[in-house]
Structure 1
Amino acid sequence: MWRLKSGFKERLRPRLEFLYGSSAMDVLLERIALVSGRYNYLEQRCSLTNPCWDQTSCMLITYGDMITGEQEAPLVTLNRFLGDYLKEIISGVHILPFFPYSSDDGFSVIDYRKVDPKLGTWEDVDAITTDFKLMFDLVLNHVSSRSRWFQDYIGSIAPARDYFIEVEPETDLSMVVRPRTSPLLTPVQTVLGRRHVWTTFSADQIDLNFANPDVLMEMLDILLGYIAHGASVIRLDAIAYLWKEIGTPCINLPQTHELVKLLRDVLDSVTPGTVLLTETNLPHEENISYFGNGDEAHLVYQFSLPPLLLHTLQSGSSRHLQTWAKSLAPPPPGCSFLNFTASHDGIGVRPLEGLLSGEEIDRVVQTVRTCGGFVNSRKADDGSEIPYELNITYFDAMKDPDRPEDLSRQVIRFLCSQIIMLSLRGIPAIYFHSLTGSRNNHEGVAATGQNRTINRGRWLDTDLRGLLADRQTVTGQVFKAYTDLLAKRRLHSAFHPDTPQEIVDAPDSIFIVVRTPEPGSPVTCVHNVGSVKQRIPLARLGPALHEKETAWDLIGEEEIGKNLHLEPYQCCWLVVREQV
């Protein structure tokens, strides 16, 4: 039988003891050895000291059925589209949960080990790994009420009868931090009578009880099974809420961090080089706490970036963006940020806490409503409802309030927001609807009654290809401009995720970041976030251009003289000519 390496066992022992006590330690270690031993054939992905990313790294976020064709599985259609349009433009694909599900567009999983037959098969998933790295979601906080596990709980069938959290309804749960306004406890009729189970997100998404080590063992097997099916990156969905302890906020608990460390240890031992990403839509300091000391997540989302960029472009001021970017500490060695502006979810409001004033946050919320978006709420400590998430496509969030019908203006404002994201230190992750400049899906919201549907539209393959071929359409313009940017970006080592960044002091309407690789040539990224033309001497653009007479703009592919002239919302990536 395959055995855990002695050093690995010693790392796991204190983690398991912290979570479950010492009485069953040897049994738990042996169970982990048995689970891990099933996958001892998995190959090392890359060196633990040299992360699996470089300047070509870029993730696409998509649903498995984002594009559908006739008489074939959506995953087959998606793979063909990726090969035709995005090969050697993006390096990886985050396929949002593609398992059988009952609600929340995939995040209420019925069976973790199956591919939803409406999307395709495991073979279809595996085929995408030929040209792209894959990210899978491990939806480990909760499971569908229609899952076999929960049906066994209702029937009091072992072992799943102990997989969930029962709480008496009169229990004081006022300290629990909620991301939703729905009831925390959901009544369920079981063979043993009426019970109330913990449901952080909805009555259909039943929280799992990780205080029971049997749940951990199930999830370890599912996790390693995903890697066996080709996953290079594992996204830990809603991880902050994982561990529950009555009398605490039940968010970011020490046990949750310890469990992330345990998962990291298992991956580093069984399949080194597999990357762990945590999803924690929280204020910045709480979010980056999931780096740990370089022993938790390899990647953490830059959750403050989407709402902060929205504020920046709508206000025409980079002041708060500059302050925030200057304050960013480099990630621990072997770790990186995942930079993004949009995803399948809405734009988080909580990550703005401590960055903008309450009045400024209110203006951001109102801007989204003005642009045709919606607002989802959560319960505050006092029981009131406050904004939690802004539901809108990022393209429509970039409307110019002074010229709301001017689509050309909207395109350049949107591209400005994306170029800023691409300029910052980290790995870019791009939602499919950002690549296509998608509009708000109000018809979908009317059909589902869910605000999030506004940003979850689907494309017919023939329709999308037709729009991409027509450069007069917004979709064609945005896709061409975006993919051109990505093609240029991947050629320069300055955009390696680990390359340091320096934020240059600039007027409110300008945002400047200098990326300086070692070795290599720096790139000075200059962005006009305002509606007025700007003229800036090269000498004021930071250390890389301080004494230079000319520079070359990688985006516009033109030479710049002693003064840089920027149109409204124009951006430049500047290098010294002899370095091109």
Structure 2
Amino acid sequence: MPARRISRSAMPIRDPQTNLNTTSNVSHPTIVAMDPSENDDSAVHSQLCQHLRFLYPNADTERLADQVIAIFDDFNSQTPLPLHQLWSQEDCLLITYGDSIIDRDTVPLETLQQFLTEHLKDSVSAVHVLPFCPFSSDDGFAVIDYNEVNPKLGDWSQISQISQRYRLMADIVINHVSSQSQWFQNYCAGVEPGASYFMEANVGDDLSAVVRPRASPLLRPTETASGLKHVWCTFSHDQIDLDFRNPQVLMEFLKIIRLYLQNGVSIFRLDAVGFLWKEPGTNCMHLPQTHEVVKLIRTLTDAFAPGTWLITETNVPNHENLTYFGNRNEAHVIYNFSLAPLLVHALLTGKTEYLKRWMMSMPPAPVGCTYLNFTASHDGIGMRPAEGLLSDEEQLQLVETVGRFGGRISTRRTADGGQRVYELNVALFDALKGTIDGEDEWQVERFLCSQTVMMGLEGIPAFYIHSLLATANDQAGVEATQHNRSINRHKWDWQELQQRLGDESSVHHQVFGELTRRMQLRRRHAPFHPNATQFTLQLSDAFFAFWRQSTDRSQSIFCVHNMTNTTQELRLSDLNLISTDAWYDAISGRRFDEQTTVLEVTPYQSLWITNR
């Protein structure tokens, strides 16, 4: 067996009788009324003071810590869950907008619940409902009011209902707010709350090193009661960056987290958190204060809502992304951003070298941490995480190929004033309709292979709803909004979707049915625990393969994927299967006997070869 990763097989498995994430009976952090006579928050208070002293060295940190504790004054400090109970192989996440499926007779959040109940109750354990607050742009990421649910989607009761059956993941859009928010209106008027909440800069400040995900001007001139100001806009001029150097901004977001906990949210996605703290003259990315804010939030959720997961959204090169595990005291989960561009590249070119090289360089997640594996999202396929992994020529080839399949690109501005590709905007199903040589007949098989790779890897798989549904590029959506990202944000009519899923000849039926079958298979196999041992296998260049072993060492699964459009031969002897065990492919059900020495692996076929 190739020796790459340090085994964690001594780590105990979660007792299935106390599984916290089964779809039938999800257990969430319990909110308990606090009895001051029975509860001592001194340890939490002391830890908060350390965080706050680092962030605000000139402030009265004792008073600030008291203010934080008061926000959670009706929560009891509780014992954090054992690290091995945070997740299991049964965990699988759905990513969706609240209105990705619409029915004219029902509010969208109720339609979403109906879809989950009828089609996914045995397949997913968690649901990420993308921003559900009132907003002014960016499909929810320019929040007007964090305390309200967008009435076009539903209300807090529907949010809470979803959380009763599934772990509910929500966005904390923490870097910026809408220009239409009351905070920003107050800023312009010079009144609190808001007058001191936003990041300002002077036109002459040295901002040349600031990392941007957009090509628009960084500063927005704004007339205020105090005259003309220039406010910081990392993303767009409708998304105004907050100034966390003011501790009251932090307090506002802690109140939002408390509200979300009370409504059933148990997974927090800290959106664009890497940009949070700004210091002119720096690149304003991943500054030490940003990491300290994440640590502070982690301290609070561990103390008052144990079992809550923090996920940091940092669409950046891999080495930067990994820093958000901290010393196991920041994010529980980080996105595996490099997976999507490398996997798409491998499937379009038939070359696995870049994917294998990245896989072999990835460290095992620290105990109590894991990766969130995804291949598509509401944003597109980020290309920054491929920097340093794919050459410029390989990236250009990827861009050109996806462009031929109807995809588009978004760019970012570099420090030298130039532009680079920031993301590919495309529906993943259409991105895989062919190879660098053009379209072919293997689109469904190639797409299923991409999702099966994701399901097998160390970490928790996350399916974007339009991947599950094999949704094509929404070119009409792009024309309507004039935004490239709309290409992968289609809104399905509920009746039409039901018809497509029920039609056996429909590609949507075929893909959805097979993916959910494999999702359910995955849940039954302990080697797919998010922290189970993983080794990269060195087979022929046509194969991307890895070995997973359950944490008690009783079961192995060899995940083998033909990444080409030609049939390949696989010698079982190359896998070093233990001869005393009976082996079979969990996906096809095919069993292997002593006479089986060579397998014919068809284009884009995936195998889960296991001994149990």
TM exceeds 0.5? Answer: yes
Q: Does 1:59 align with 2:76?
A: no
Task: From 396, 407, 412, give the equivalent of 2:445.
Answer: 412
Q: CA deviation at 1:33?
A: 1.2
Does the 8 A contact of 2:45 with 2:69 survive in 1? no
Does the 8 A contact of 2:51 with 2:292 survive in 1? yes
Match of 1:308 in 2: 342
Does the 8 A contact of 2:77 with 2:303 survive in 1? no
Does the 8 A contact of 2:164 with 2:264 survive in 1? no
Q: CA deviation at 1:396?
A: 0.7
Q: Does 1:371 align with 2:405?
A: yes
Does the 8 A contact of 1:550 with 1:562 survive in 2? no
Give the 3-state SS of the residue equivalent to 2:83 in structure 1. Answer: coil
> In 2, distance between residues paired with 1:257 and 1:4?
27
Q: Does 1:262 align with 2:296?
A: yes
Corresponding letter in the other structure for 1:92? A
Match of 2:475 in 1: 442
> In 2, distance between residues paired with 1:26 and 1:549?
62
> In 1, distance between residues paired with 2:555 and 2:204?
64
> In 2, distance between residues paired with 1:196 and 1:553?
61
Does the 8 A contact of 2:45 with 2:66 survive in 1? no
Q: CA deviation at 1:22?
A: 4.7
Match of 2:586 in 1: 554
> In 1, distance between residues paired with 2:125 and 2:485?
27
> In 1, distance between residues paired with 2:514 and 2:59?
60
Task: From 29, 47, 69, give the equivalent of 2:65.
Answer: 29
> In 1, distance between residues paired with 2:203 and 2:329?
38
Does the 8 A contact of 1:63 with 1:97 survive in 2? yes
Does the 8 A contact of 2:384 with 2:422 survive in 1? yes
> In 1, distance between residues paired with 2:64 and 2:320?
30
Alpha-carbon deviations, 1:108-147, whole Å to 9, x = none?
0000010000000100111112221100000010000000
Task: From 566, 572, 575, give the equivalent of 2:607.
Answer: 572
What are the residue-to-residue correspondences of 1:165-180 with 2, within 5 Å?
A: 165-180=199-214
What are the residue-to-residue correspondences of 1:517-528 with 2, within 5 Å?
A: 517-519=550-552, 520-528=554-562
> In 2, distance between residues paired with 1:275 and 1:307?
26
Q: CA deviation at 1:193?
A: 1.6
Q: TM-score, normalised by structure 1?
A: 0.96
Match of 2:75 in 1: 40
Cα distance, 1:51–1:257 mapped onto 2, change above 3 Å = farther
> In 2, distance between residues paired with 1:216 and 1:129?
26
Alpha-carbon deviations, 1:153-184, whole Å to 9, x = none?
01101231000011112222101111110110
Does the 8 A contact of 2:133 with 2:143 survive in 1? yes
Does the 8 A contact of 1:539 with 1:548 survive in 2? no
Give the 3-state SS of the residue equivalent to 1:160 in structure 2. Answer: coil
> In 2, distance between residues paired with 1:80 and 1:43?
34
Q: Does 1:400 align with 2:434?
A: yes
> In 1, distance between residues paired with 2:173 and 2:461?
22
Give the 3-state SS of the residue equivalent to 1:50 in structure 2. Answer: helix
Q: Does 1:164 align with 2:161?
A: no
> In 2, distance between residues paired with 1:205 and 1:548?
61
Corresponding letter in the other structure for 2:138? D
Q: CA deviation at 1:215?
A: 0.3
Match of 2:272 in 1: 238
Q: CA deviation at 1:52?
A: 2.2
What are the residue-to-residue correspondences of 1:40-439 with 2, within 5 Å?
A: 40=75, 47-401=81-435, 404=438, 406=440, 408-439=441-472
Match of 1:19 in 2: 55
Instruction: Name whichever of 281-290 and 64-73 sits farther off.
Output: 64-73
Does the 8 A contact of 2:347 with 2:435 survive in 1? no
Give the 3-state SS of the residue equivalent to 2:147 in structure 1. Answer: coil
Match of 2:25 in 1: none
Give the 3-state SS of the residue equivalent to 1:136 in structure 2. Answer: strand
> In 2, distance between residues paired with 1:109 and 1:449?
20
Does the 8 A contact of 1:42 with 1:228 survive in 2? no
Task: From 561, 565, 569, give the equivalent of 1:535.
Answer: 569
Q: Does 1:509 align with 2:509?
A: no
Alpha-carbon deviations, 1:432-462, whole Å to 9, x = none?
0000111000000000000000000010110
Q: CA deviation at 1:402?
A: 6.9
Alpha-carbon deviations, 1:513-570, whole Å to 9, x = none?
11001323101111000112111111102x4x15479631111111232222200111
Give the 3-state SS of the residue equivalent to 2:550 in structure 1. Answer: coil
Instruction: Name whichever of 296-305 and 166-175 sits farther off.
Output: 166-175
Q: Does 1:490 align with 2:523?
A: yes
> In 1, distance between residues paired with 2:87 and 2:66?
34
Alpha-carbon deviations, 1:48-83, whole Å to 9, x = none?
433421011000000000111122210001101100
Cα distance, 1:97–1:72 mapped onto 2, change above 3 Å = same
Instruction: Name whichever of 396-405 and 236-245 sits farther off.
Output: 396-405
Does the 8 A contact of 2:201 with 2:231 survive in 1? yes
> In 1, distance between residues paired with 2:48 and 2:132?
31
> In 1, distance between residues paired with 2:582 and 2:544?
20
Alpha-carbon deviations, 1:344-400, whole Å to 9, x = none?
001111101111111111111111111110110001121001101110011111021
> In 1, distance between residues paired with 2:431 and 2:230?
40
Give the 3-state SS of the residue equivalent to 1:503 in structure 2. Answer: strand
Does the 8 A contact of 1:549 with 1:562 survive in 2? no
Gaps in structure 2 of 5+ consecutive residues: 1-34
Aligned residue pairs, count: 572
Does the 8 A contact of 1:64 with 1:98 survive in 2? yes
Does the 8 A contact of 1:294 with 1:334 survive in 2? yes
Q: CA deviation at 1:10?
A: 2.2
Cα distance, 1:336–1:549 mapped onto 2, change above 3 Å = closer
Give the 3-state SS of the residue equivalent to 2:69 in structure 1. Answer: helix
Q: CA deviation at 1:401?
A: 3.6
Does the 8 A contact of 1:495 with 1:515 survive in 2? yes
> In 1, distance between residues paired with 2:439 and 2:160?
43
Gaps in structure 1 of 5+ consecutive residues: none
Supply the RMSD in Å over aligned alpha carbons.
1.6
Alpha-carbon deviations, 1:202-224, whole Å to 9, x = none?
00000001000000000001011
Match of 2:513 in 1: 480
Does the 8 A contact of 2:97 with 2:129 survive in 1? yes
Greater relative contact order: 1 or 2 (C-alpha under 8 angstroms, separation 6 or more)? 2
Corresponding letter in the other structure for 1:510? F
Corresponding letter in the other structure for 1:113? N
